[in-house]
């Protein structure tokens, strides 16, 4: 899982985890070794195996040339991010896409400092 956001038309990558699984509240608390009362309220929890995370990194802008090449799965096909006429990303471009196409994740992960 790669954490990304769009701010002022620029794509930022903030972190990375290898997801162990998507668990319910009880199982997530057990996996994390904490009482479920300490977890935030959610329907499901993506948890990572130890040693497979990159701490959150601020201000890690994705170069436009990389952002333009990213592909996301949508239905049975692939889509790219939407750019506005002046070359900035549409602020809602990530709203309808959730999963990077195979190979695209490598471009984003390579920008992170491990």
Q: Flag whether 114 is in a domain.
A: no
Residue with tokens 């162990």: 20
How many other CB atoms are found less than 10 A from the CB of residue 16?
Answer: 21
Q: Is residue 65 part of a domain?
A: yes
Domain of residue 14: give its range: 2-109
How many domains does the chain fold into? 1
Say if CB 39 and CB 29 are below 8 A apart: yes
Alpha carbon of residue 65 to chain centroid: 19
Question: Is 90 within the bounds of a domain?
Answer: yes
Helical ranges in the chain per DSSP H: 25-32, 64-69, 104-109
State if pTM tops 0.85: no
In-domain check, residue 93: yes
Residue 87 has pLDDT above 80, yes or no: yes
99 part of a folded domain: yes
pLDDT, one tens digit per residue, over 7-26 is: 999 999 998 888 899 999 99
pLDDT of 20: 92
């Amino acid at each position: 899982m790669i954490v990304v956001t769009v701010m002022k038309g620029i794509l930022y990558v903030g972190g990375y985890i290898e997801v162990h699984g998507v668990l319910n509240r009880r199982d997530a608390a057990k996996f994390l070794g904490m009482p479920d009362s300490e977890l935030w309220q959610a329907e499901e929890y993506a948890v990572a195996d130890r040693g497979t995370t990159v701490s959150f990194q601020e201000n890690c802008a994705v170069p436009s040339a990389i952002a333009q090449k990213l592909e996301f799965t949508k239905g049975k096909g692939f889509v790219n991010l939407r750019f506005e006429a002046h070359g900035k990303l549409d602020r809602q471009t990530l709203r309808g896409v959730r999963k990077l196409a195979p190979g695209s994740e490598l471009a984003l992960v390579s920008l992170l400092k491990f």
